[in-house]
Amino acid sequence: MYCYVARQPIFNLQKEVMGYELLFRDGVDNSFPNINADEATSKLITQHHLMLGVEKITSGKQAFINFSADTLIHHFPTSIDPNAIVIEILETVTISDELLLACKELHKMGYRLALDDHDFDPKWDVFLPYIHILKIDVRQFNVLEISRYLRRVSPYPVTLLAEKVETAEEYAQLQTLGFTLYQGYFFARPEMIKHKQLGSNKLNLLTLIGESSKVQLDFDKLAGIMQRDLDMSYKLLRFINSANFGRKQSIGSLKHAMVYMGEAELKKFISLLALANLAEGQSDELLVMSLIRARFCDQLASIRGDHDNPPAAFLTGLFSLVDALLEQPLPELLSQLPLLDEIKSALLEGKGMLARYLALEATFEQGQWKQQIELSASLVAADVDLNRIYLDAVEWGQSLLNAR
């Protein structure tokens, strides 16, 4: 029996990640109606926090976790540090005096409480003195409805969090209403960002990515491109001398370093390093998501025995958010890169095996467990623990960002 976890980023006004909503479920049972919210929350505590720690999953940022009425009444959240968690009260819970008392006690203990998918029902008003965050699904209400309600609750010092923000226009409107936290994929939607010309340095990096994506590498050409960038050259040499390659190696030139590294690993390294440089000044979360996707797809391809030179699955995951990172339309960007047709087909049309790899990663990313079960069954054997592979990918992506 495996357990599953996904994390969805929550941004502040500066588009910095201040926390993650964690979605925990039992992957198999959750596809049937015989699991309730209490059981799911119990698994959250026993299978993830006690064994792994939510701090590891959230990279030290706050974890937003759903709790049902019974788990709150029985003080389940108190096994987690108040500074590490925001307790989300499900919109489906039954209101009772016991629940209100539990919220008062948790509030007094220093826990931050949030009303999840808040529906503006006046029955929740008695809870507001103990609530820190109101999460509002902006797909369910128009701006006028939200504005009217917020005027009614204005005496309470609650922080407003908008869920499912999809456009830049919505983002701007919600700021005027006082929302300071945001959850959704607006930051990763290319249609919502301005078109930006790439400078000569970034075009050079695109050239480097293109060269590293070819079936057969031209080491002389790659070395010539990289030696014009001192920072990238230094990082390549430092990476070569890391524990990943088993022993220290005296390197006489960039070409020597590349040959020693091996084509498959060199291609991955150059692509992720170049993408990180291209993404400078953008949201770190976009880059981390790209790295997680690359690692997950690469590991999935390895399990299935795919040929990894060029590392098509890795590059598919890595470039899946390149349009948002570089603020240019995806077709235009991919036209500048000599990537394999199967990679372009996966990214532009959602077709082929690589697209299925990316779709499977997205089920973990978004907590779509029923789809995850179906896709997993069609791609890997039943005894493969893809949840562990996803968690490893999350840790790997975050560690690379921290090492920049």
- % of the chain with per-residue pLDDT over 90: 25
- Helix or strand holding residue 389 (H, E): helix 386-402
Cα–Cα distance, 47 to 84 (Å, whole number): 17
Q: Are residues 110 and 250 in the same domain?
A: no
CATH number, domain at 381? 1.10.3210.10
User: Confidence class of residue 303 from pLDDT cuts 50, 70 and 90?
Assistant: very high
Comparing 243 with 279, which gets the higher pLDDT?
279
Q: Highest mean pLDDT: which of 190-194, 270-274, 277-281, 385-389?
A: 385-389
Q: How confident is the prediction for the chain on average, in pLDDT?
A: 77
Residue 340 inside a domain? The answer is yes
Last residue of a domain, one of 126, 159, 184: 184
The answer to whether residue 124 is domain-embedded is yes
Q: Does some domain include residue 208?
A: yes
The answer to whether residue 50 sits within a structural domain is yes
What are the structure tokens assigned to 42, written together? Answer: 């119990």
| pTM of this structure | 0.62
Give yes or no: residues 235 and 381 share one domain.
yes
Q: Which domain holds residue 122?
A: 3-184
Whether 14 and 115 map to the same domain: the answer is yes
Domain at 13, CATH number: 3.20.20.450
Do 159 and 247 belong together in one domain? no
168 shares its domain with 64? yes
Query: In the prediction, which pLDDT does 338 show?
Result: 66
- Residue 325 shares a structural domain with residue 358: yes
- Residue 120: per-residue pLDDT: 86
pLDDT digits (tens, 9 = 90+) for 346-383: 999 999 999 999 999 998 887 788 898 999 999 999 89
- Answer yes or no: do 105 and 44 share one domain: yes
Enumerate long-range contacts of 31-34, CB under 8 Å, 24 or more apart: 31/369, 31/370, 31/373
Nearest by Cα to 106 from 129, 92, 87, 84 = 87
Domain boundary among 123, 154, 184: 184
Total of domains in the chain: 2
Give the pLDDT confidence score for residue 77 in this predicted structure.
Answer: 78
pLDDT per residue over 142-182, tens digit each?
888 999 999 888 889 899 999 988 777 788 889 999 999 99
Contact 58, 82 (CB under 8 A): no
Tens digits of residue pLDDT in 94-119: 899 999 999 999 999 999 999 998 98
Q: Tell me, yes or no, whether 283 and 376 share the same domain.
A: yes
Q: How confident is the model at residue 68 (pLDDT cuts 50, 70, 90)?
A: confident
Residues 174 and 205 in one domain: no
Query: Do 144 and 222 fall into the same domain?
Result: no
In a shared domain, residues 180 and 286? no
| Residue 332 counted as domain residue | yes
